[in-house]
Structure 1
């Protein structure tokens, strides 16, 4: 595990609310499933679902374009100032002073943009759902496709953020959020097409990985991307045996002979 990352992913853990899944012993039916199973041997397992939907959305927005190490203090500071057992976080953020909110979440980076996004979303949540509780009922109770479509209509919410809310708040099996690590890894492995965008990678993974393994596959893939399959210097570059996925990987865009690493979409055609 990378030394500059926290010992547990803030999106999972015992506070996740249930839906812990054990990997069964059957033989993997796809290479993508085999990769996720091996990740299960490398990293901790998580629980999914049960997180308050609005807080989960805020937390995921804070994590955009930064690491857990940077976003966690911002999340803690935000809850310390605006949260509380009897406080509706959506109401608190909608009525907040934007410069003060921006200062509170400064450690997460892009704090002016993120604070504006959160207040705008908070106002919409109050208008359409009456507050955080109503929004949570919508996310956990409505059809997942409807929830995803609605979340994507929120300002500042993209596919990865929407899918994280579905997974970590809604506890929806079969959701495999695709961030920059997942996008890179599964194209480099050769599991998804080299030129696939984030949505195309998601479609491949959700088709080839059993629903109960998608949530863990997401968090474990991120850790694998941090520890081994980094963007500029993957472990296989100097030593092919250093990567635990070496026997599954097609090394698309990685050229150990020259030390060159490019985006899989720019890889030399064979």
Structure 2
């Protein structure tokens, strides 16, 4: 590809987020899920991830919960400006932060009172369990993925998507396909995952049917596809049956062009 169009307002960090351009051969796709991922790669980007600082990535992902990347990115930038920089250990800095001041700093991310509490508690946990953000980073990058995931899931406010994003963007672990609201909606709508599958059910299907090396960019490219085409309330196929680049691969579960109706796939 001649250029990497990954948006900067993306939890992956965009072009500066530690990803490395890669290539694949679409003719080798063995499942419908892989064919979807291959087409997304041709439409957007092909990249492997890793290299972000683990604690910074964890904080960034907590800020993104229940809001858009566009809203949470400024909060993340403001947080780093106030509490990071230089040789400051971010975990130490945030563990000592005054909650109301942190809440004000991250207010653009929404749910700032709740998120400020979670961030401070998480920073205290990192300081107590690992000693520093640097040691936590080494843990995320060097330990077995399942050990890292289970450890992260034991922390209040850290769910499966947050843990998986840390493993992907910081740890650079292949075979990790974080499931956010876009991914959850799209692969059930496509008919690749069961219509009633929860987030973990969708993750299980994708990590089984998509090659490990394609899971990372599959996650980020699916999010972009959800923003541009397979939107929750107005998917492109409602306006024009030929507008969606996945039209021939999609079962349109819960999408009814003839009546202009959209329902959750589980209700279809």
TM-score bucket of the superposed structures, by smaller chain: over 0.9
Q: Distance in 2 between matches of 1:65 and 1:90?
A: 23
2:107 counterpart residue number: 106
Deviation, structure 1 residue 10:
4.1
Deviation, structure 1 residue 14:
4.2
2:215 counterpart residue number: 214
Q: Residue 65 and residue 126 in structure 1: after superposition, are their counterparts in 2 closer, same or farther (change >3 A)?
A: same
Q: Is residue 174 of structure 1 aligned with residue 175 of structure 2?
A: yes
Deviation, structure 1 residue 24:
2.3
2:153 counterpart residue number: 152
1:15 counterpart residue number: 16
The runs of at least 4 consecutive aligned structure 1 residues that moved more than 2 Å come to 5-10, 12-21, 24-27, 44-47
Deviation, structure 1 residue 60:
0.5
Q: Distance in 2 between matches of 1:165 and 1:41?
A: 25
Tell me if the contact between 2:191 and 2:252 (Cα under 8 Å) persists in the aligned partners.
Answer: yes
Structure 1 residues 100-134: Cα deviation after superposition (integer angstroms, max 9, x where no partner): 00000000000000000000010010000001011
What secondary structure sits across from 1:221 in the alignment?
helix
Q: Is residue 263 of structure 1 aligned with residue 264 of structure 2?
A: yes
Q: Distance in 2 between matches of 1:46 and 1:12?
A: 12
Deviation, structure 1 residue 77:
0.3
Deviation, structure 1 residue 216:
0.2
What secondary structure sits across from 1:72 in the alignment?
helix
What secondary structure sits across from 2:16 in the alignment?
helix
Deviation, structure 1 residue 69:
1.1
Q: Is residue 78 of structure 1 aligned with residue 74 of structure 2?
A: no
Within 5 A, what are the aligned runs for 1:179-190? 179-190=180-191
Tell me if the contact between 2:72 and 2:109 (Cα under 8 Å) persists in the aligned partners.
Answer: yes
Deviation, structure 1 residue 237:
1.3
Q: Distance in 1 between matches of 2:18 and 2:41?
A: 20
Tell me if the contact between 1:12 and 1:46 (Cα under 8 Å) persists in the aligned partners.
Answer: no
Deviation, structure 1 residue 248:
0.1
Q: Distance in 1 between matches of 2:70 and 2:171?
A: 24
2:120 counterpart residue number: 119
Deviation, structure 1 residue 85:
2.5
Q: Distance in 2 between matches of 1:206 and 1:55?
A: 25
Unaligned 5+ runs, structure 2: 1-5
Q: Distance in 1 between matches of 2:197 and 2:69?
A: 26
After superposition, the CA RMSD in angstroms is: 1.4
Unaligned 5+ runs, structure 1: none
Within 5 A, what are the aligned runs for 1:5-44? 7=8, 9-17=10-18, 19-44=20-45
Deviation, structure 1 residue 16:
3.5
* Length, aligned pairs only: 263
